[in-house]
Structures are given as C-alpha cells and as structure tokens.
Structure 1
C-alpha cells in the first residue's frame, strides 16, 4: 500500500500545505517533491510507531516550513518563466476581448498601467498564497486574503479605465493585418501554455469570456441585453466546466 494512504489526514494536510508553501516560496518543483516524499516516509514510520505529527515537525508547522524553505535555494529561472506567463497571460485576456469587438488599439497609459497592475497582483499573490498554505489560519481569514488578491486587480483595472478617459496619452493603432497577427500569436501562446500545463482551463476560460461576447455583438440585441447575457453565459459556462472537473476528479 502507498505510504500516502497510511498517513492520517493531519499528516496529509501538512504535506499538501508544505508543498504549496515551498512552491510559492519559489523553490524548484523537483526538489520540493523530493523533500515532500522524504518527509512522507518519516511521517508514515512515525505514525506506525504510534507517534504524532508533532514529534516530527514540532508544535509549529509554520516554523518547520520556514526552516525547510530557508535551507533551499530559490529557482529564479523557473520563476522568471512563471512571471512572464502571468504577464503575457493577462494580456491575452485583454487582446481576445478587444479582438471580438474589432481592431486593436491601446494607449501608452493602458499598456503601462496593465503591466503595473499585473506586477501588483504578483506582489500580493506570492505572500498571500504562502500565508494561506501554512494552514494555521481560520477559513474566514483565508477567505479575506483570497478575496483581497482577486478584488485588488479588478479595482485597479476599473481605475485604469477611468484614468484612460481623463488622461490623454499617445495611442497605438494596430490595424486589421497587425491585429490579426497579434491574435494568431496570442492564440499560439495560449495553446502552447495549455499543452505545457496539460490543462484546458486557460483555453476554456478565455473562450467563455470572448466567444459569447463576439456572437452576441453581431446580433441586433441592445447593448445592455448583450452585456447581461454575455456575463451569464461566461460565468455560467465556467462554473459548469469546474463542476464537471470536480465530478471527474471524484470519480477517479
């Protein structure tokens, strides 16, 4: 029998939290897995001998996680790749949404503001995810942190839209040919990332946000009706997709 199935739920939860904590600390994924597997063996042997989790990790899981993290080096190369993926991925959403309405055109303020907002998101995502992964906080506190990480960039994007209306900066117009080229390159990027991640999530989310908006845009429906239907279809479709994923996961 696999060691993981012999562990108590408390030990399994700690290993999952440790894996997440080290990941969000920028450690190499292979090294993280090696450490988690080694600790899994120690915990399994300890529990077989009637010892508690605390006998291995001490009374403070957070301090134990920090100790292991401090002994490991940061994988800067891999995390630079992740950060680039987040930046270009966020631009992909904007590009596809705008392509559904016509040719691309962006002001300098929009481009710079978008980069700044993504930087702020990354700066809050990493420490926030580490905070949650320690597993020592109430669900209410974790929910507040998650909500803060999700809502902050939305608020900033709304602010950017307002600033772009009141502050004039040079606008870059791509035209039909260049807009099409940018769309193709972006699509190839999304497909490549999805193949690398072995997941359809990114493609499904982008499709759910852009396709309903595009098809409704070419109808004779009023703008308010289009916006309402697009929102319902997009979030409803994404919700159904994640529901199907959860059902498939449980059936394994």
Structure 2
C-alpha cells in the first residue's frame, strides 16, 4: 500500500528533491535520500510526530546539511545544458525558417549561447533559494521569473548592439538552412521522447503554425495577427489543461 504523507511533508519532500537537483546532486542519490526520508516521515507521522520534530525548525538548514553530505556532480547538469541551449534557439530558428534562409551575426550566436547559460544558472540558483525557504506563492513566482527577465534583457541588449554595430554574418543558404532545420527538428523529437513531454513541439506549433496558415490567406495583416494570437493562446491553454487533467488522474 502506498504511503500517504501529510501535505506539509509532501511539500517538503518535493522542495528537497528540487533543492538537491539544483545543487548538482546525482539523480540516483537524490532518489535514495528521498525514499529514505519518506519512510522516516511516514513512520514518525504514524506515531503522531510533526515534521518539525524530524527536520527541525529550519528546513533551509536541514536541506543544506543533507546537501553537504552528498557529492556534488555538476556533470549531471551537462545533459541539460545542450537541451536548454538548443531548446531556446529553436524558437528563433523556426521563426526565421518561415521567413526564408537563416543568417545570423556572430555576436548574436555567441549572445544566444551566453543567454542560455545565464538563464540555466540563474534559474537553478532561484530554485535553490525558493525551495529552501518558506516564501509565498507570489514571491516564489517573482523570484523564479527573475532569471528569465534578466537574461532576456541581456539578449535584448546583445541583439540591439548587433543591430547598431553589425558583426560578421554567417549565411547558411538554402541547403544549410534546411539541414539546420532538420537537426533542430530531430532534437525536439529526441527531447520530447527523453523528457516524456510534448511541451516544446506544442509551443512551437502554437506559435508558428497559426501564423504560417493565416499568411496564406488574404486577410488584413492586423486581423491575421489578432487571430493568430488568439489561436496560439487557445492551443497552449488547451494543452496545459489536458496535461493538468492527466497529472490529476495519475495522482488519484
């Protein structure tokens, strides 16, 4: 029979898992620690003890102490960094493929790589902060959004600089653009299978399929833009609702 922990203990377990992951700990070791703690908490709660009697009054100190006892292996993150880089760049690549062949300044390419790394490192730091502290949902959302905001400002500055002071361009041509598109498409398929989620391809379809389909019509540009935005939000909204429903069914 599956163990049922209290909502507070369940929340702590989820936070601990994210904290250890964002601290560069190995998945196998995280799972071992989590399973051991789940058993410990379940046994304690079945005897009427509170979670504070197990972890103490400071979740942050408890998480930090566990993290210090585990070996840090940043190679665990190595498999995620290419996903972040290619995933973020795929939005730009497919948008530009709809307009024609690909052509990027060297500064833009380097800026996109740095942007992806900054976002990844910033998000992990924000994740460690929010999971180790008792913060409100609003504050948590604000802190987790900071890496996106700051890295977006960074890449915006890079693109503006490349516009004002153009760096040497790399022209991929027709064949090169097709090859790049196929490579990115292959990555998206691989990522979706590996992560067992269709969020990346669904987002890309929602962003660009309505725009491409409406561009083939004789509708006014403003009308096409409005309709495209509405369809995009509808597709993403329906997908998220279906995912939420699927997760609820799995939990029950």
* Superposition TM-score, scaled by structure 1 size: 0.92
Mapped pair 1:192 → 2:155: no
Give how far 1:200 is off: 1.2
Between 1:91-100 and 1:154-163, the stretch displaced more is: 154-163
Partner of 2:207: 209
Residues in 2 aligned to 1:201 and 1:238: alpha-carbon distance in whole angstroms: 9
SS of 1:106's equivalent?
A: strand
- 1:103-154 per-residue CA deviation (whole Å, 9 max, x = no partner) reads 1110112111111211221221111011121251122321221232332333
- Say whether the 8 Å CA contact 2:115–2:152 is kept in structure 1: no
Given the alignment of the two structures, is residue 152 of structure 1 paired with residue 144 of structure 2, yes or no?
Answer: no
**1:217 to 1:156, Cα distance in 2 relative to 1, 3 A:** farther
Checking the alignment, whether the CA contact within 8 Å between 1:101 and 1:214 is kept in structure 2 is no
For 2:119 and 2:39, locate their aligned partners in 1 and report how far apart those are by CA, in whole Å: 37
1:60 and 2:52 correspond:
no
* Alignment counterpart, residue 118 of structure 2, candidates 117, 120, 124: 120
Residue 25 of structure 1: how far off its partner (Å)? 1.0
Counterpart check, 1:137 vs 2:135? yes
Cα distance in 2, alignment partners of residues 251 and 80 from structure 1: 33
Task: Provide the secondary structure at the position in 1 that maps to 2:99.
Answer: coil
Instruction: Return the TM-score normalized by structure 2.
Output: 0.92
Aligned residues: 250
Other-structure match for 1:226: 224
1:164 aligns with 2:165: no
Consecutive unaligned residues of structure 1, counting only runs of 5 or more, are none
Distance in 2, matches of 1:223 and 1:108, equals 32
Distance 2:238 2:130 in 1: 26
- Identify which of 5, 15, 18 aligns with 1:17: 15
- The answer as to whether partners of 2:18 and 2:131 remain within 8 angstroms in 1 is yes
State whether structure 2 residue 32 is matched by structure 1 residue 34: yes
Mean alpha-carbon deviation: is it higher for 26-35 or for 147-156? 147-156
Query: Deviations along 1:162-183, whole A, 9 cap, x unmatched?
Result: 2232111111111111111111
Change (3 A) 1:233 1:160: farther
Q: Which stretches of structure 1, 4 residues or longer, exceed 4 Å deviation after superposition? A: none
Q: 1:105 aligns with which of 103, 106, 119?
A: 103
Secondary structure of 1:100 counterpart: helix
Partners of 1:10 and 1:143 lie apart in 2 by 20
Name whichever of 213-222 and 42-51 sits farther off: 213-222
Distance 1:191 1:176, change over 3 A: same
Shift of 1:198: 1.4
Q: Residue 44 of structure 2 aligns with which residue? A: 46
Is 1:183 matched with 2:181? yes
